[in-house]
């Protein structure tokens, strides 16, 4: 909105010329989202606590200490993230850019699915929520629309193609339908992987912020011809504006962490985890860095794989590989303290992000 209002005035007022620059507006988006989140946080948390009464239901088969320490904490804190994220993005981004709307569409759609799941949990006082097949069906419908439009926005030879890190000239032309299916799997996988990681105070939101910062940089680079030529990346016209969204996500995440730091005053719930994971997946598809997401978001991949391995092993052999899944609960059962697990997982997330970003230069 601000670029639309102020850039035309730049010829008369030189100061407004800064609104042309994505880097300046990304910084503005970070600060704006942070301020909005910090201001609205206490009121929203009090409102959620009043509406939910006993807070988020804690799964009975989970770690026993959670029944004592986390019982009564309100959920749906993802609302705080989404309000700050959307307000800041709409304020600082170029709203004529279609990529901005595609990412916002998936974020809102996955957030709505997550909200319905949280609502069922709170109202029925059950940790089960909505059936998995129903959630996946709605996620697929949202993702398929988004990936189709992303493909239409791309220029040949990127349309219907998958790019690979490290190999500068390698594009796998798979066609529209396979690409849409592939993109849907990336977005849905990211959304549900982040959802599985949201089990300890601060565990999910910091790796999400790290991934958002990394992909904000990637979006900025692949959206500029000069940088793509220097780094030998595939140029994707228009994606630079996604950096504004990534910045807003970083700022909103910082505000949420203020209230989610141990002991958490609020949980993000599926409202937050599904929407943020879906957003990261969409940015990865839009920037043609789907495989890099698997590196940068490797922590989320690890959490998801631990669940898949645990379920598969138990069904096939009747034995469990981990003491409890997702894997962060496994470390709890080994006697690690919650802050130890969270901080060490943050360190892993930083290292993986650096490895993922290094692929931009390894060509």
Query: Is 363 within the bounds of a domain?
Result: no
Is residue 188 over pLDDT 60?
Answer: yes
Which residue(s) pair with 171 in the sheet? 163
The residue length of the chain stands at 363
For 179, the token pair is: 């690409």
* Angle subtended at Cα 199 by Cα 198 and Cα 205, rounded to the nearest 5 degrees: 35
Q: What is the DSSP string of 214-255?
A: HHHHHHHHHT-HHHHHHHTPPP-TTGGGHHHHHHHHHHHHHH
Q: What is the pLDDT of residues 272-298, one digit of tens each?
A: 999 999 999 999 999 999 999 999 999
Per the confidence metrics, is the pTM higher than 0.75? Answer: yes
Q: What is the pLDDT of residues 64-108, one digit of tens each?
A: 555 445 667 888 999 999 999 999 999 999 999 999 999 999 999
Query: Is 204 within the bounds of a domain?
Result: yes
Which residue(s) pair with 162 in the sheet? 172
CB-based contacts of 146, cutoff 8 Å, min separation 6: 102, 105, 106, 183, 187, 282, 285
Comparing CA positions, the residue from 272, 221, 237, 258 lying closest to residue 86 is: 272
Q: What is the pLDDT of residues 294-323, one digit of tens each?
A: 999 999 999 999 999 999 999 999 899 999
Query: Is 74 within the bounds of a domain?
Result: yes
Query: Is 309 within the bounds of a domain?
Result: yes
Q: How far is CA 81 from CA 28, 36, 217, 268, 277, in A?
A: 16, 9, 21, 8, 13
The total number of structural domains that make up the chain: 1
> With contact defined as beta carbons under 8 Å apart, do 180 and 146 qualify?
no
Which residue(s) pair with 173 in the sheet? 161
For the chain, percent of residues with pLDDT exceeding 70: 92
Query: Is 97 within the bounds of a domain?
Result: yes
Is residue 213 over pLDDT 90?
Answer: yes
Quote the domain boundaries for residue 343.
2-358
pLDDT at 123: 80
**Alpha-carbon gap, residue 119 to 127, rounded angstroms:** 11
pLDDT at 75: 87
């Amino acid at each position: 909105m601000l670029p639309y209002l102020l850039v035309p005035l730049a010829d008369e007022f030189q100061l407004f010329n800064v609104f042309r620059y994505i880097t300046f507006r990304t910084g503005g988006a970070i600060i704006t989202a942070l301020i909005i989140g910090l201001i609205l946080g206490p009121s929203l948390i009090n409102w959620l606590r009043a509406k939910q009464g006993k807070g988020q239901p804690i799964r009975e088969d989970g770690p026993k200490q959670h029944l004592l320490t986390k019982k009564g904490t309100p959920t749906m804190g993802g609302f705080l993230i989404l309000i700050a994220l959307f307000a800041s993005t709409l304020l600082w981004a170029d709203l004529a850019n279609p990529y901005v709307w595609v990412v916002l569409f998936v974020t809102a759609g996955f957030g709505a699915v997550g909200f319905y799941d949280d609502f069922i949990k709170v109202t029925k006082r059950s940790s089960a929520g909505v059936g998995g097949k129903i959630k996946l069906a709605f996620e697929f419908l949202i993702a398929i629309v988004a990936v189709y439009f992303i493909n239409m926005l791309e220029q040949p030879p990127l349309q219907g193609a998958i790019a690979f890190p490290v190999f500068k000239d390698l594009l796998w032309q798979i066609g529209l339908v396979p690409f849409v299916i592939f993109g849907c799997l990336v977005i849905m996988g990211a959304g549900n992987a982040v959802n599985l990681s949201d089990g300890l105070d601060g565990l999910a939101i910091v790796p999400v912020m790290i991934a958002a910062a990394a992909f904000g940089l990637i979006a900025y680079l692949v959206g500029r011809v000069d940088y793509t030529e220097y780094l030998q990346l595939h140029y994707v016209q228009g994606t630079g504006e996604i950096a504004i969204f990534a910045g807003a996500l970083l700022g909103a995440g910082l505000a949420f962490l203020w209230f989610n730091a141990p002991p958490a005053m609020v949980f993000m719930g599926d409202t937050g985890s599904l929407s943020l994971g879906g957003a990261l997946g969409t940015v990865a598809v839009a920037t043609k860095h789907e495989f890099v997401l698997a590196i940068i978001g490797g922590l989320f991949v690890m959490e998801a794989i631990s669940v898949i391995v645990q379920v598969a092993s138990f069904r096939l052999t009747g034995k469990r590989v981990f003491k409890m899944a997702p894997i962060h609960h496994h470390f709890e059962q080994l006697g690690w303290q919650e802050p130890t697990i969270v901080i060490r997982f943050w360190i892993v997330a930083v290292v993986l992000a650096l490895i993922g970003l290094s692929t931009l230069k390894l060509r």
